Amino acid sequence: MSNLDARPAPTTCGGERDTGPVRDLLTARRVPLGESTVVRRLLPNLGRRMVGAWCFVDHYGPDDIADEPGMQVPPHPHMGLQTVSWLHAGEVLHRDSLGSLRTIRPRELGLMTSGRAISHSEESPRPHARYLHGAQLWVALPDAHRHRDPAFEHHPDLPTVTAPGLSATVILGTLDGATSPGTTHTPLVGADLTLTAGTAHRLPLDPDFEYAVLTMSGTLTADGVPLDPGAMLYLGTGRRDLPLHATTDATFLLLGGEPFAEKLVMWWNFIARSGEEIVQARSEWMEGSRFGEVHGYGGPRLAAPELPPGSLKPRGRVR
């Protein structure tokens, strides 16, 4: 998915130390995405920009798109990151400048590694399911891997972990001994958990990772904090486990990773280490070089927004 803000603010992040265990409830910002969709942006957030290498989290739906086009995100570029398309309902048709053409369905991993440059489009296919519900996640690439060749992976069969009243799908990284086939470049985890009403469980965590949970549906408590659908709770580092209790049947995402040490500049759909790299990427997208071409999308590609006044400088991962 693209950041479709008409005037995206530059975000600088990375380079912070451990917080220890905390319980910071993050408030979503509503961002229009195309004509018919509104997404709830949880990262970057006023008080928190990253969780491990996870640097962008949009939650959308469930939306009834029976009589709507649904998701229509025209071709746009990325650099310096991986995108994770994650669905609970509906489907997304992915096209990219490598020639990939794949339909991503619920609990299948669509993982695009931009490396130095890629472009892609995402759309609800026609016909499409009535409901669309999912999350769009970005993972920042470390300096050693951000200039690599672009790649696209589709993993329809991900490993699962079960316990009484709990089932987890491992999106990226390792959870409780089960490892996703998705390629990662920093120590991190992403998992999709389903709890049946009344389940109490202590989820084992890595104390060197920082974590956040994002409720997709239902209500639960995490470390005693009640969470409604769409709520994101930042948990910090230094935890060996996370007490969970499902108030109703509930689903949520667990995102975690080693605190990202490198300083970043994020603007629009680009992650860089300096403002100059962002300016260069923007002008290369606008002149049609470097990011390749997406074939088959029924409309024009996205124009880059205007750059903000002033320079873009890398800073810390919390405000």
Instruction: Give the interface with Mn ion as residue ranges (CB under 5 A).
Output: 1-2
Shortest spacing between CB 99 and Mn ion, in angstroms:
17
- Alpha-carbon distance 73 to 70, whole Å? 10
Written as six digits, the tokens of 237 are 């580092």
Pick 26 or 33: Cβ nearer Mn ion:
33
Q: Which is nearer to Mn ion, 1 or 55 (CB)?
A: 1
Count CB-CB contacts under 10 A for residue 182.
Answer: 21
Q: Nearer Cβ to Mn ion, position 1 or 265?
A: 1
The count of residues in the chain is 319
Q: Considering beta carbons, is residue 77 or 173 the nearer one to Mn ion?
A: 77
Cα→Cα distances 309→8, 10, 279, 306, 312, Å: 12, 10, 12, 9, 9
Write the single-letter amino acid at 296: G
Residues 78, 42: contact at Cβ < 8 Å?
A: no
* Residue 204 · residue 241 · CB < 8 Å: yes
| Residue whose CB is nearest to Mn ion in the complex, by number | 2
173: left (phi over 0), alpha (psi -120 to 50) or beta: left
Q: How far is the CB of 32 from Mn ion (least distance, A)?
A: 16
Distances (CA, A) of 139 to 35, 158, 217, 245, 288: 26, 18, 23, 28, 25
Encoded amino acid at 81, one letter: L
- Shortest spacing between CB 92 and Mn ion, in angstroms: 11
Q: Which two tokens stand for residue 274?
A: 């300096």
> Which one, 123 or 262, has the nearer CB to Mn ion?
123
Smaller CB distance to Mn ion: residue 139 or 175?
A: 139
75 or 218: CB nearest Mn ion: 75
The nearest distance, CB 137 to Mn ion, in angstroms, is: 11
> 221 and 244 in contact (C-beta within 8 Å)?
yes
Cβ at position 112, least distance to Mn ion in Å: 8
User: Measured from the CB of residue 185, what is the shortest distance to Mn ion in angstroms?
Assistant: 18
CB of 159 to Mn ion, least distance (A): 26
Tokens encoding 307: 């750059």
